[in-house]
Amino acid sequence: MKRKKIGLFVLLSVILFGYAGTVDYTEAVVYNMPQVIYDGIVEEHPDFSQKQIADYYVENQEELNLFYKFAMNE
């Protein structure tokens, strides 16, 4: 019985640390993203969550940063 409790505690700890890491990662990506890019993603995908916005930005970072540089030059 004691081994089951320890196993359950370890499993829950891993899950919670994984979730906390995902939340920290999402916040860091969104915080460091240029505002104009964030606004563009939200305008294009209004139903995206913060995590989906962060994932979209990371997947399309090169293209979005080129857009940002172009927008800042005008």
pLDDT in tens, the chain (74 residues): 788 888 887 888 888 877 777 778 888 899 999 898 999 999 999 999 999 999 999 999 888 888 777 777 65
Residues 65 and 5: their CA atoms lie apart, in Å, by 48
Q: What is the pLDDT of residue 50?
A: 92
Predicted TM-score (pTM) of the model is 0.72
∠ CA 10-54-34, nearest 5°, is 135
Note the pLDDT of residue 74.
Answer: 59
